[in-house]
C-alpha cells in the first residue's frame, strides 16, 4: 500500500458498468451526473470519469468544461489514480485500487468492501479521513477463497441464494 495522498490534480470517478449488481438497480450515468453536481458545490478541480472497461455506459452527455473521460480500455487504473486527489465510487472493487494507491476514496454504499476505510461526506474533500488500513487489508485478504474451496464449489454455494 502506498502512503495516503494529500494533493492531486483532479477528482477521479470510478464509474461502474451498466447492469452491475453492485449498483443496486441505479443507473451509473445518473449516479455520475448527480455526483458531478455534488462535487461541483465543494470543488473546482477537474473531474475525470473512468468508465468500467467491460460494459461501458455512454458518459458523453456528462462532458462539460472541466469533465473528461479516461479511456479505461487502454489506460490502466493505476495511471488514472497516479495524479488523482480523490476518487468516488458507488460500490465497486475498483475502490480497492484507490485505497491501495493511497487515493482517498468516497463511497456511497455501506455494503462496499471499502466502507471501513472510505470517506462519505463530500464536504471533507480537502480534509479526507486517512485511516490506518492495516486491519482492513488483512480482513480483505482473509475473505478470498482458496483454490481448493473453489474446486469444492463453496464459492457457488455461498452466492447461490443471490443468483436469481
Domain span including residue 154: 133-164
Domains in the chain: how many in total?
2
Question: For residue 53, how far is the Cα from the chain centroid?
Answer: 13
- pLDDT digits over 88-127, tens only? 999 988 999 999 999 999 999 999 999 999 999 999 999 9
Same domain, 14 and 31: yes
Distances (CA, A) of 73 to 28, 91, 97: 18, 20, 16
Are residues 139 and 121 located together in one domain of the fold? no
Same domain for 141 and 98: no
pLDDT in tens, 15-55: 988 766 677 888 899 999 999 999 999 999 999 999 988 77
Residue appearing with cell numbers 488514472: 80
**CB–CB of 76/107 below 8 Å?**
no
Whether residue 138 sits in one domain with residue 88: no
Alpha helix ranges (H) inside 41-143: 77-82, 94-100, 134-142
Query: Does residue 3 fall inside a structural domain?
Result: no
Burial letters 60-70, b for 16+ CB under 10 A, else e: eebeeeebebb
**What's the mean pLDDT when you consider all of the chain?**
91
Amino acid at each position: 500500500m502506498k502512503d495516503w495522498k494529500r494533493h492531486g490534480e483532479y477528482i477521479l470517478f470510478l464509474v461502474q458498468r451498466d447492469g452491475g449488481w453492485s449498483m443496486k438497480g441505479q443507473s451509473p450515468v445518473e449516479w455520475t451526473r448527480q455526483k458531478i453536481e455534488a462535487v461541483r458545490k465543494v470543488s473546482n478541480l477537474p473531474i475525470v470519469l473512468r468508465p468500467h472497461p467491460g460494459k461501458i455506459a455512454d458518459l458523453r452527455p456528462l462532458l462539460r468544461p472541466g469533465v473528461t473521460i479516461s479511456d479505461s480500455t487502454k489506460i490502466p487504473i493505476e495511471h488514472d489514480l497516479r495524479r488523482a486527489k480523490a476518487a468516488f465510487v458507488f460500490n465497486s472493487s475498483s475502490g480497492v485500487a484507490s485505497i491501495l494507491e493511497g487515493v482517498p476514496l468516497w463511497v456511497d454504499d455501506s455494503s462496499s468492501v471499502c466502507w471501513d476505510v472510505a470517506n462519505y461526506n463530500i464536504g471533507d474533500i480537502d480534509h479526507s479521513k486517512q485511516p490506518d488500513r492495516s486491519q482492513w487489508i488483512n480482513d480483505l485478504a482473509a475473505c478470498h477463497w482458496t483454490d481448493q474451496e473453489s474446486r469444492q464449489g463453496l464459492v457457488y454455494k455461498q452466492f447461490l441464494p443471490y443468483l436469481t
